[in-house]
């Protein structure tokens, strides 16, 4: 099992993001990262890298949820 060391792990694992998930399959880490970080796209002045947005969408699709649920104005 891979240990997770916060933001440093995210920055150092760009190759893993391209595989689809943080590890080789969907895990709780993917769900927590998506739940915590996808709302950053709503903040003015914060630019989320495109590969990270695709990562959020992959996680949401596998989980069968929409990142837009509960929003009054869709992005």
How far is Cα 51 from Cα 70, in angstroms, rounded to an integer?
24
pLDDT for res 9: 44
Mean pLDDT of 22-33: 84
Q: Is pLDDT at 66 greater than 70 in this prediction?
A: yes
pLDDT for res 24: 72
pLDDT for res 75: 59
pLDDT for res 3: 45
The pLDDT tens digits of the residues spanning 8-18 come to: 444 444 444 44
Q: Which residue has the tokens 């993001």?
A: 17
């Amino acid at each position: 099992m891979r240990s997770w060391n916060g933001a440093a792990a995210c920055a150092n694992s760009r190759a893993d993001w391209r595989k689809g998930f943080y590890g080789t399959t969907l895990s709780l880490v993917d769900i927590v990262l998506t739940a915590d970080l996808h709302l950053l796209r709503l903040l003015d002045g914060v630019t989320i890298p495109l590969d990270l947005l695709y990562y959020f969408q992959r996680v949401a699709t596998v989980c069968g949820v929409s990142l837009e649920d509960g929003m009054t104005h869709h992005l």
